[in-house]
Amino acid sequence: SHLDDVVELLRLADLDRIEVEDDDIVEWQGGGPEDWPGLSELQEP
pTM above 0.85, yes or no: no
- Given this model, what pLDDT does residue 1 score? 82
- Given this model, what pLDDT does residue 16 score? 61
Tell me how far apart the alpha carbons of residues 29 and 3 are, in angstroms, rounded to a whole number. Answer: 39
Q: What is the pLDDT of residues 1-45, one digit of tens each?
A: 888 888 888 777 766 665 656 556 555 555 565 666 665 555 555
| Cβ contact 40:33 at 8 Å | yes
Q: How many other CB atoms sit within 10 Å of the CB of residue 23?
A: 9
Provide the strand spans (E) within 1-45.
none
* Closest by Cα among 43, 21, 25 to 34: 43
- Given this model, what pLDDT does residue 4 score? 87
| Cβ contact 36:28 at 8 Å | yes
